[in-house]
A and B are shown apart, each in its own frame.
Chain A
Amino acid sequence: MVATVLRLRYRILGNMLARSPWQLVGFVFGAMGAAGALAFAAFALVLIGASGLEAVRGVVTVGGALLVVGWCIAPLVAGGVDTTVGPEQLAPFPLTTRQVMLALAVVGLAGIPGIATSLGALSALLAWGRWPIALALAVVCLPLGVLTCVVASRTVASFSRRSGGRIGNAMALLAFTALVLAGPIVTGLLGVVSGGTGPASAERLAAVVEGVSWTPVGAVWGVPGELAAGRVGTGLLKLGIGLATLAALWLLWRRNVRAASVTPPRRVVAGRRGRLGWFGLAPTGAVGASWARATRYWLTDPRYLRNLLIVALLPALVAFAFGGRVEGTPFAFVVVLPALLLGLVPYADVSYDGTAFASVLATGIRGRADRAGRLLGAATAAVPLLVIVAVVTVGLSGRWELLPAVLGCALGAELAGLGICAVSSAHLVIPVPAAGDNIFKRVPGQSFWVGIALMGFTLLAAALVSPALVLAVLAALQGSALWSWLALAAGLVVGAGVAAAGVAIGGRAFDRTGPELLARIRTTSGY
């Protein structure tokens, strides 16, 4: 039975690779990357084996813990490890829950990440080679560790697929935030650990290893080292923690698999009536309706929301790169680049509608109204955020007199970008994840030329808003409030002008290209 499911998994992979040569290329590169990492890991482990028991124990424990954490995050950010074969798909077949879980675990082990992890764990045997007791225990503990990886990943995936993917998307956004901030967090932690003098830092490092080896994700990896060092009691205790972790994950996963096989993945909660939201505020008419819809999607759909999140997080990253020294002119302008990028987010906005675009097209909406509604919706979401971020960052930089200039550049760039998008999205359709899909789902078929076009749009937006940029630089150099206010005026005038021109030009194009856009959505996204 397990073999049948495994064959099914490989058949799906084979069909997918046969259909798209680019995915095959990606697959080959992935496999080569995994092989390279493996060779390196094995080599490093042998070297470390020569440098003493404590070193091996530390590296295997921390490395193993990172592996487990990585396997937990992967289903959130990589669109699911093997979601092609999940409990929902196996539910109609006469299999017990245990058989389903067994099959899924084996499928997880037999993919490239699973094989790589297994081989990597095996290579840890090389490192333990000099301590027979450790080697004997590693034969038991390393497979347990690998199994923990696979089961943990399946458990996280089973949670993320509940409630029609909405919880999953919330978790994915959280994981994404954590990833964006991973650099500062890790460096911060390392700073805490290694701050101070030599011997003290080594001690702290040892403390970190000790701490990790007591956590559920690290315990099982540390067991061989404890016994080799003669600490039998500690070793058995950690083995207990590891086994308990695996058991707890298995039980949680079993609960979700059972739930998935009896209840269809649909949540029916009767929401209250009469909550029109933006539709109650916008004026009636094609522009108002499109505006309300676009705003609603910008503020609730993770595919859009993610971009707003980046704008809020990017200044924090820059502040970190500056080493926390945020006073002064450069940091005052930190919001301008994210504003430029945010303005260009909807450069193929119609793609995000999916085939729901048919319901827009069927109403015979004028291109101008559609463009204006989308532009206003994006601006409604972006402008308040940009103003807040600008005020906070300029405040932190201590150069309040530059606030008008910064606002001019940021809002000018955002509006100019949206104006460009009003034209480009009447022509371009790109493959994007469907509404409700995991936002990190890789969608094949992103074309090289679209990337070039996007780069061109970025340069164009920057060029259009350059009058405001020049005035802002003058304001910063001369410390003059007059230049600063002029920069604001220039930014707003340019932004509004480009936006209006974009709506007019894009609207005319849209009147012509509407049916072709729908046809391309059907062929590129197919949903």
Chain B
Amino acid sequence: MPTPPVASVPALALTGLVKRFGQKTAVDGIDLVVPTGSFYGLVGPNGAGKTTTLSMATGLLRPDAGTASVHGVDVWADPVAAKRMIGNLADGVRLFDRLTGEQLITYTGMLFSLPREEVAVRTADLLRLMDLGEAAGTPVADYSAGMTKKVALACALVHAPRLLVLDEPFESVDPVSAANIEDVLRSYTGSGGTVIVSSHSMDLVQRMCDHVAIVSAGRVLVAGTVDEVRAGATLQDRFLELVGGRTRSEGPAWLRQS
């Protein structure tokens, strides 16, 4: 079989990923191809397996079956090489929150062996971008939820990865910072970087992403470009139609105020 040309190697390719926790199958055979340079949205109801999938894709959780590869490098065969290319914002994990914001970003830069001057420049840029200048010297333990999210995002960006994996990046982030971050991510994908983002906000995904996959109960229901997936309707309507479980009611009588 001839090797495919470099340009066609996807930034992230998942094939047949499976993960079980005891009796429960969290991810039940997920296939996904994230083209290089795309802004890929991953949406699904709570418990659909989004976080589990992204953990397996970034080398944090060993899959029971299936493979994940980043720019052609198998994440589980050569984790060191694959992880060098990934910037990862994981959801539901702590940070080393005794460090100040500035120290945490510096620390992450050092872990990737960036030269010291480069670390300083990038840390300053990221603090400005995330509007964390005021809180740079405050321990991350004292940050609000949104600030913590932003400093984690800064850590994911500091080594200029080729693939950004962002799990719920805009949760509790203020609108101004969110807009700034959105601009940065857009210019990042414009320059050839790839972003895969999981989110519960359909409006945000429809606006920002060019590709989207809807997952439910550990399976991909539909995947493709945003226009293909929504097929004329809004992404919100299409999502509700595919996932189901929507109840149309006015709510309980006792809640009504008149």
Contact = CB atoms under 8 A, between A and B. Distances in A.
Question: Which of B62, B103, B115 has the most CB atoms of chain A within a 10 A radius of its CB?
Answer: B103
B114 A362 contact: no
Nearest to A359: B95
B59 A361 contact: yes
Given A289-B111, A362-B60, A272 B96 contact: no
Interface string B89-117: 01011111111101100111111111110
A290 B99 CA distance: 13
Contacts of B58: 362
A515 B62 CA distance: 6
B167 to A, nearest CB: 11
B98 A297 contact: yes
Contact of B142 (A266, A285, A286, A362): A266
B139 A271 contact: yes
B98 A296 contact: yes
Contacts of B94: 354-356, 434-435, 527
A274 B138 contact: no
B114 A273 contact: no
A320 interface: no
Interface stretch (B128-136, B202-210, B232-240): B128-136
B111 A365 contact: yes
A363 B111 contact: yes
A288 B136 CA distance: 21
Question: Which of B60, B88, B95 has the most CB atoms of chain A within a 10 A radius of its CB?
Answer: B60
A269 interface: yes
Interface in A248-302: 266-277, 279, 282-286, 288-290, 292-293, 296-297, 300-301
Contacts of B110: 279, 282, 284-286, 288-289, 292
A132 B106 CA distance: 74
Question: Which of A273, A284, A359, A519 has the most CB atoms of chain B within a 10 A radius of its CB?
Answer: A359
A74 to B, nearest CB: 25
Contacts of B112: 286, 363
A362 B86 contact: yes
Interface string A91-105: 000000000000000
A292 B107 CA distance: 8
Interface string A500-520: 000000000000000110110
Interface in A93-129: none
* Chain A: number of interface residues, binned into ranges: 35 or more
B119 interface: yes
B137 A272 contact: yes
Contacts of B61: 515, 518-519
B96 A271 contact: no
Given A268-B138, A285-B113, A364-B59, A276 B98 contact: no
Contact of B97 (A286, A365, A435): A435
A283 to B, nearest CB: 8
B97 A275 contact: no
A527 B119 CA distance: 29
A435 B141 contact: yes
Contact of B136 (A273, A364, A366): A273
A456 interface: no
Contacts of B88: 362
Contacts of B60: 358, 361-362, 515, 518
Interface stretch (B3-11, B38-46, B76-84, B219-227): B76-84
Nearest to B63: A515
Contact of B92 (A292, A355, A435): A355
B26 interface: no
A355 B97 contact: no
A269 B109 CA distance: 25
B132 to A, nearest CB: 10
B73 to A, nearest CB: 11
Contact of B119 (A284, A300, A363, A435): A284
B111 A286 contact: yes
Contacts of A365: 111
Contact of B137 (A270, A289, A301, A360): A270
Contacts of A435: 94, 97-98, 141
Contacts of A527: 94
B96 A359 contact: yes
Given A273-B102, A292-B107, A356 B95 contact: yes
B15 interface: no
Given A362-B58, A363-B83, A364-B82, A271 B138 contact: yes
Contact of A356 (B84, B97, B102, B106): B97
Contact of A359 (B81, B93, B103): B93
A478 to B, nearest CB: 48
A436 interface: yes
Interface in B144-181: 144, 155
Contact of B115 (A268, A284, A360): A284
Given A270-B134, A275-B100, A516 B62 contact: yes
A282 B116 CA distance: 10
A210 interface: no
A436 B99 CA distance: 12
A433 to B, nearest CB: 13
Contacts of A300: 98
A276 B141 CA distance: 16
Question: Which of A286, A361, A516 has the most CB atoms of chain B within a 10 A radius of its CB?
Answer: A361
Contact of A293 (B80, B82, B96): B96
B108 A363 contact: yes
A275 B107 contact: no
A359 B108 contact: yes
A164 interface: yes
Contacts of A361: 59-60
A362 B58 CA distance: 7
Q: Which 5 A-B pairs have the closest CB atoms?
A: A364-B83, A271-B137, A289-B110, A355-B93, A273-B136
Interface of B: 58-62, 79-84, 86, 88, 90, 92-100, 102-103, 106-116, 119, 133-139, 141-142, 144, 155
17 contacts: A268-B135, A269-B138, A271-B136, A273-B102, A277-B103, A279-B107, A279-B110, A282-B110, A284-B109, A284-B119, A289-B110, A360-B111, A365-B111, A435-B141, A436-B141, A516-B62, A518-B60
Interface of A: 164, 266-277, 279, 282-286, 288-290, 292-293, 296-297, 300-301, 353-356, 358-366, 434-436, 515-516, 518-519, 527
Given A284-B115, A292-B107, A353-B96, 8 more contacts: A271-B137, A274-B102, A356-B94, A359-B96, A363-B112, A364-B82, A515-B62, A518-B60
